[in-house]
Chain A
Amino acid sequence: DIQMTQSPSSLSASVGDRVTITCRASQSISSYLNWYQQKPGKAPKLLIYAASSLQSGVPSRFSGSGSGTDFTLTISSLQPEDFATYYCQQSYSTPGFGPGTKVDIK
């Protein structure tokens, strides 16, 4: 099985900050990496697919990069509605998620 890790597990940031979350796969997964946002009590929402493609309707302050084993999700200017938990998910094999990164208010 492919293991996914994320760092940090949590972070505190202020509105307007640039935030970067890292996801690492235990083996190369090419660009088969997706990012989801989940707010408390809500379903996950797809943000980025294929490592860097922005899902329709998602604000352009979200971006993704990487290939192989190392990936990043960047929020260029954190907004109040962005405080949430972010998960990476590999689609190289049967779906597997990272443990999540919780972004909260500093």
Chain B
Amino acid sequence: EVQLVESGGGLVKPGRSLRLSCTASGFTFGDYAMSWFRQAPGKGLEWVGFIRSKAYGGTTEYAASVKGRFTISRDDSKSIAYLQMNSLKTEDTAVYYCTRVCSGSYYWGDYFDYWGQGTLVTVSS
């Protein structure tokens, strides 16, 4: 059974940093791209970024709203994806979801077939 478990959320002050982890099981983690999404309270879904599998260079792409502040990385030996969030702003407050991309990269037509339960990040002074 595929499982994705996020951890690391919590309350943090504006300007500070936080690192989220996504621990995967039930599939060959290294074969898949992984992506992060977020959902502000009462709002819709927003893509944050993704990381391709090593077979596709392990490269990353980010939404404009987080580019330069957030970094996604992966440790295939531990089946963990990370979201490093720096220079946090109050508008980054959201539930953050880790997802599996249906392929090793993100191509036209790809989709997000498994989602974690989410972890809440609250940015407030």
Judge: A and B partners, yes or no. yes
Contacts of A95 in B (CB 8 A): 35, 37, 47, 106, 112
A66 at the interface (CB under 8 A from B): no
Contacting B at CB under 8 A, from A5-20, are none
Count A interface residues, CB 8 Å.
Answer: 25
Check B109 against A32 for contact (C-beta < 8 Å).
yes
Contacting B at CB under 8 A, from A42-95, are 42-46, 49-50, 55, 87, 89, 91-92, 94-95
Contacts of B116 in A (CB 8 A): 43
B2 to chain A, nearest CB (A): 11
B33 to chain A, nearest CB (A): 12
Check B47 against A94 for contact (C-beta < 8 Å).
yes
B120 to chain A, nearest CB (A): 11
Q: Mark contacts of B104-122 with chain A using CB atoms, 8 A cut-off: 1 yes-contact digit, 0 otherwise.
A: 0010111111011110000
Q: How far is the CA of A67 from the CA of B37 in the complex (A)?
A: 25
Contacts of B108 in A (CB 8 A): 30, 32, 91-92
Check B115 against A44 for contact (C-beta < 8 Å).
yes
Contacts of B37 in A (CB 8 A): 95
In the complex where A87-B44, A94-B63, A95-B47 touch, is A43 in contact with B109 (Cβ < 8 A)? Answer: no
In the complex where A43-B116, A43-B117, A97-B46 touch, is A91 in contact with B111 (Cβ < 8 A)? Answer: yes
B97 at the interface (CB under 8 A from A): yes
Contacting A at CB under 8 A, from B14-40, are 35, 37
In chain B, what residue has the closest Cβ to A48?
A: B111
Q: How far is the CA of A29 from the CA of B46 in the complex (A)?
A: 19
Check A99 against B109 for contact (C-beta < 8 Å).
no
Contacts of B35 in A (CB 8 A): 95
What are 5 A-B interface contacts by the 8 Å CB criterion? A32-B109, A42-B117, A43-B115, A43-B117, A91-B110
